[in-house]
Amino acid sequence: MRQLRPAEGTYGRCVIGPVLEDEVATLDEGSHYDAKYMKPLDGCLVLDFSTLLPGPLATLLLARAGAEVIKIERPGAEDMAMLAALSEGKRRLALDLKKPGDRATLEPLLARADVLVEQFRPGVMHRLGLGYERVSAVNPRIVYCSITGYGQTGPKSGVAAHDINYIADTGLLSLSMGTPSHPVIPPALIADIAGGSYPAVINILLALRQRDTTGGCHLDVSMTDNLFPLMLGSPVITSGSPRYGLYATKDGRVLAVGALEQPFWDTFCDIIGLDAELRDDAKDPAATRARVAGIIAGEHSDTWARRITAHDCCCCLVATVEEARRDPHFAARAAFERGPAAIVSGFPQSPG
């Protein structure tokens, strides 16, 4: 099956799914197809009004899937250094939305856009005259995606917050924040990416598919709502089981152990030579964990790496970001040359 794309210089509406060579495809007037493969979102126009991480990452993923993304920004605005990589493949259009002339420039884009992504607090786009009701009146087929911390409704919908507040409010942070005397800040923006960017992309794609029968829609993507599914299974991994934890080696590295299933646990116990009476960890989990910790601490990380590599036991050393970038597996998959992982090259590296 060969898929076709609009020929260069023409504009066709967003098409989800293949267009076959032996079909007569008629889209917008004047569009035609050549015999090249199309990307999934070729012909889709996305207007991106977002500035912080969740929206720009979502629209980057759409751009890499073939969408034409136009980043609407204030005149003179500059990207934060950390987020500059998220502008890759996007066109930029500086507009002062309070000026009639700039609004006139925006109107034809609103009329033909397939997707609009915004990340303001609820009500801001409405006050700018760009709320869903107004835009959908001009373009009933638009998929209008609003990404916020707490959603468009509810007592907290207008509360100012960042990632750390979202994971705190939902209880996710309490599961792995260290102790009050030694609190630990998660190294990833969990709410922004797992609760914002990816749910936004998933729902935009679903809405594009559905609009052929129902028309456009307003997507209310709440980062906090989307964090609760991330806690599925948390009682198991936060229970203190010796089978799932982090153990320090003699040279200060850390071994990550996830040997939950019995075959993996049996193999792990054999590798480290755990005492027979402690292998049934249900009897005294604390004693088993303490003994495992003592054994792991008795050898250097390279010793453990050599031993576990030869076996299937769900164990590995905790890698630094630099080590991960040099990992032959990720190199073989070109993980840092394409796809979301490629943006890591523009982010701060872990301390050495």
**How large is the greatest C-alpha to C-alpha distance in the chain, in angstroms?**
79
β-pairing, 68-73 with 244-248? unpaired
Enclosing domain of residue 251? 235-318
Is residue 258 domain-resident?
yes
For the chain, how many structural domains are there in total?
2
Is residue 333 domain-resident?
no
Residue 350 pLDDT level (bands cut at 50, 70, 90): very low
Is residue 281 domain-resident?
yes
Residue 2 pLDDT level (bands cut at 50, 70, 90): very low
Please tell me the predicted confidence (pLDDT) of residue 238.
82
Q: What is the mean pLDDT of the segment spanning 255-268?
A: 97
Residues with catalytic function: 162, 192
Is residue 91 domain-resident?
yes
Residue 266 pLDDT level (bands cut at 50, 70, 90): very high
Q: What is the mean pLDDT of the segment spanning 237-260?
A: 94
- The C-alpha atoms of residue 118 and residue 160 are separated, in whole angstroms, by 16
Query: Which of 189, 215, 230 marks a domain boundary?
Result: 230
Q: Are residues 223 and 245 in the same domain?
A: no
Please tell me the predicted confidence (pLDDT) of residue 48.
98
* Per-residue model confidence as pLDDT tens digits over 157-199: 999 999 999 999 999 999 988 888 999 999 999 999 999 999 9
Q: Are residues 197 and 57 in the same domain?
A: yes
CATH number for 161: 3.40.50.10540
Q: Are residues 202 and 241 in the same domain?
A: no
Please tell me the predicted confidence (pLDDT) of residue 177.
87
Q: Are residues 181 and 272 in the same domain?
A: no
Q: Are residues 72 and 166 in the same domain?
A: yes
- Provide the percentage of residues in the chain whose pLDDT is more than 70: 85
Cβ pair 53, 34 in contact under 8 A: no
Cβ pair 157, 124 in contact under 8 A: no
CATH number for 295: 3.30.1540.10
